[in-house]
Amino acid sequence: MQFESFADFLAMGGYAFYVWLSFGVTFVAMAIVAVQSFIKHRSLLKQVVVEKERKARIKKARQQQQDSV
């Protein structure tokens, strides 16, 4: 479909409200998914660091316990 002018393009043949609303909803949904993914990724990385630190403390405590026996 070709448009005579930019205004005709924006009007989308009388269906502009539905067309631009669908684009807007899609981009908002994609942005929400991207933000949620970023937040979850950071959270998982923090959990990995905490778990590694916990395991290191356990290993150190066991080593100290074996050294004292």
Q: Which two tokens mark 69?
A: 């026996």
Q: What is the pLDDT of residue 47?
A: 98
What CA–CA distance (Å, rounded) separates 9 from 39?
37
What are 12-54's pLDDT values in tens digits? 988 999 999 999 999 999 999 999 999 999 999 999 999 999 9
Name the E strands within the chain.
none
Predicted TM-score of the model (pTM):
0.69
